[in-house]
A and B are shown apart, each in its own frame.
Chain A
Amino acid sequence: MRGTRIEQLYDGHAPSLFAYLLNFTRNENDTRDVLQEIFVKIAREPELLKNVLNERAFLIRLAHNAAIDLIRRRDTRERTRENVAAETITVFAPAGDPDEEVFRQQLSAALVELPEEQRAVVHLKLWEEMTFEAIAETLGISPNTAASRYRYGLDKLRERLRPLYKEITNANE
């Protein structure tokens, strides 16, 4: 791997990996650690990407597995304490419009309440625009499972954000 190759990989995929990891871990330090772990791994073993057709999907799989390992390593008590802080960490860019900002904060908090497996699928579907087949391959599940997790997750978000969503929609009309 040439010196610029790792930079190309970072510039091409780090923004997506960052958002995915932040949504998953809800902790900036953990996100940085996992992101660093991925790029160090790729730099150390460049042959990992040799026969990979979809680099993004491959890197997200690495990120997902590393994040799962990290979450499992955490102490339960530590996790409970961090869950409180997690609601304040937003995964979305700040909005100029106050209504939009409230919606983003509420959406970010609603995502935290989803089980991790549903959150992962919802993220990949909505913000990575992946098909259920691609999500299934990335996460090592069946396409049907990916689709059902997405529907369950989306229903929970809909339920949680319904009042705010209606309010904003009515105000815009």
Chain B
Amino acid sequence: MRMNDMDPFEQRLKRQPLRQAPADWREEILTMAREAQPLRQTATVQGDSLFSVLNRRLASLLWPHPVAWGGLAAVWVLIFAAHFSIEDKAPVMAEKALPPSPEVVAELRQQQRMLAELIGVSDASDADRPKVLVPAPRSERVVILNA
């Protein structure tokens, strides 16, 4: 449908000029758009320092709830801090447990020997110990009886 296909009423409507966007919106919106541009492009186009670009990028990432994101980050920092502090304490506790002194070891061995003498168990070697009688399988016993 072109202008010629329209009736006079439509043509009259069509001729009504629309309002223009307020002029001050342009800079405001374009500033926001520039800040949202990807890091590499923003850095090359505007020649800003890396820190300011990162700062803007971070701000745009955290927008529109920077406080909420900041709170979440703080919670994570606390969790990590608690985690590492617990992890650090474990080896310290192990280190604090000193090995027994030679005197203590000697004393313990002496007590062990005395206990063995009292209950009648000697330090006999494995070769001198009486062999434990292991019963032979039933089938072998039958063979012996038959023999």
Binding site for B on A (CB under 8 A): 1-3, 6-7, 10-11, 14-15, 18-19, 22, 32, 35-36, 39-44, 46, 90-93, 103-104, 107, 125-127, 129, 131-132, 154, 157-158, 161, 165, 169
B14, B26, B29, most chain A CB atoms within 10 A = B29
Contacting pair A35 B38 (CB below 8 A):
no
Chain B residues 21 to 50 lying within 8 A of chain A, measured CB to CB, are: 21, 25-26, 28-30, 32-34, 36-38, 41, 45-46
Contacting pair B37 A18 (CB below 8 A):
no
Partner pick for B30 among A10, A32, A44, CB 8 A cutoff: A10
Contacting pair A91 B34 (CB below 8 A):
no
B17 CB-CB contact with A under 8 Å: yes
Contacting pair B33 A92 (CB below 8 A):
no
Contacting pair A1 B41 (CB below 8 A):
yes
B101 CB-CB contact with A under 8 Å: no
- Chain B contacts for A103, CB-based, 8 A: 16
Query: Taking the nearest CB of chain A, how far is it from the CB of B77, in angstroms?
Result: 28
> For chain B, what secondary structure do more than half of its interface residues adopt (helix, strand, loop), or is it mixed?
helix
Partner pick for B9 among A1, A7, A15, A158, CB 8 A cutoff: A158
B10 CB-CB contact with A under 8 Å: yes
Contacting pair B18 A91 (CB below 8 A):
yes
Contacting pair B29 A19 (CB below 8 A):
no
A14→B18 CA distance, assembly (Å)? 12
Interface size class of B (residues with CB under 8 A): 20 to 34
B85 CB-CB contact with A under 8 Å: no
Contacting pair B18 A127 (CB below 8 A):
yes
A173→B17 CA distance, assembly (Å)? 22
Binding site for A on B (CB under 8 A): 1, 8-10, 12-14, 16-21, 25-26, 28-30, 32-34, 36-38, 41, 45-46
Contacting pair B26 A6 (CB below 8 A):
no
Partner pick for A126 among B8, B13, B41, CB 8 A cutoff: B13
- Chain A contacts for B12, CB-based, 8 A: 165
Q: A36-B32, A39-B29, A158-B9 are in contact. Are A3 and B21 (CB under 8 A)?
A: no
Contacting pair A6 B34 (CB below 8 A):
yes
Q: A35-B29, A126-B10 are in contact. Are A44 and B38 (CB under 8 A)?
A: yes
Q: A92-B17, A92-B19 are in contact. Are A39 and B30 (CB under 8 A)?
A: yes
Please name 11 further chain A to chain B contacts, defined as beta carbons within 8 Å, in addition to the given A10-B29, A165-B9, sorted by A numbering.
A2-B45, A6-B30, A14-B26, A18-B25, A36-B32, A43-B36, A46-B37, A93-B20, A104-B16, A127-B14, A161-B9
Contacting pair A35 B21 (CB below 8 A):
yes
The 15 sampled A-B contact pairs (Cβ below 8 Å) are A1-B37, A6-B34, A6-B37, A14-B29, A35-B25, A36-B32, A40-B36, A43-B33, A43-B36, A44-B38, A46-B38, A91-B19, A93-B20, A127-B14, A158-B9
